[in-house]
Amino acid sequence: MNIALIIAAGVGKRTGSEVPKQFVCIREKPILIYTLEVFQKHPAFDAIGVVCLSGWQELVKSYARQYGISKLQWFAEGGVTGQESIYNGIMKLNEHAQPGDAIFIHDAVRPLLNEEILNNLISTYDKYGSGVVAIPCTEAILKSSDALRSKESVPRDQLFRTQTPQAYSLEKLLWAHDEAAKRGITNSVSTCTLMSELGEEVFISPGQEQNMKITTEGDILMIEKLMELKSM
């Protein structure tokens, strides 16, 4: 099976919203629903799990019924860190899925994910056994230890900005989080960085600039404008 694991456990303080950013409405629809709809509509995905803030699961279930998200099957509670939230999610999936099932971990607040990105990622995963959506860096990169001065640049042709989804087998994810616990790795910023810290090779799948992550209020406005352009 191909299973989407949606991480919707952030509180989103930097958006300045009264509700977590994944529940902010754009064009009268919650951001989380836009994200879930992409996996609902894609024929290659069999099921969806959501890692959610405590106390918000019933609202997500209500939205899922309202918008026809029939693939949503499982919930897990968010953790203190992103790594812990993902761990909680894969432990829930481990109760229902098989070791060889492909798990596509995606940020709830990347609502402009599209079928092309998913198709490329599925192909990468099928060929190599893992896949990380990423885009090449196009800006000059400076290295600084104090955010004030720099004497060193980093070649941009060797750098990629990672996005989500990121795809691994359930078996590989369970191994990685078990190994992280043994090594005292508790707050890796994403699954691909965790794999890197564990010395594992991951494979890059092409992303797109529009597959942006909502972090600030300005990002919400940007997403809204992009949605308007797509609907014209």
Q: pLDDT tens across 65-97, in order?
A: 999 999 999 999 999 999 999 999 999 999 999
pLDDT band with cut points at 50, 70 and 90 for residue 16: low
Q: What percent of the chain has pLDDT over 90?
A: 88
Please say whether the beta carbons of 103 and 76 come within 8 A: no
Give the contacts of 187 (CB within 8 A, at least 6 positions apart).
Answer: 81, 82, 83
- Residue 35's Cβ-side half-sphere holds a number of Cα atoms within 13 Å equal to 33
Give the contacts of 21 (CB within 8 A, at least 6 positions apart).
Answer: 10, 12, 15, 31, 109, 214, 220
Question: In which element (H, E) is residue 142 found?
Answer: strand 141-143
If you classify domain 2-231 with CATH, what class do you get? Answer: alpha beta
Whether residue 207 is predicted with pLDDT greater than 70 in this model: the reply is yes
Looking at per-residue confidence, does 104 or 11 come out higher? 104
Report residue 197: phi and psi, to 5°: -65, -25
> Which pTM was predicted?
0.94
Please say whether the beta carbons of 174 and 94 come within 8 A: yes
Strands (E), 81-140: 102-107, 130-136
Whether residue 26 is predicted with pLDDT greater than 80 in this model: the reply is yes
Mean pLDDT is lowest, of 58-62, 162-166, 167-171, 213-217, for: 213-217
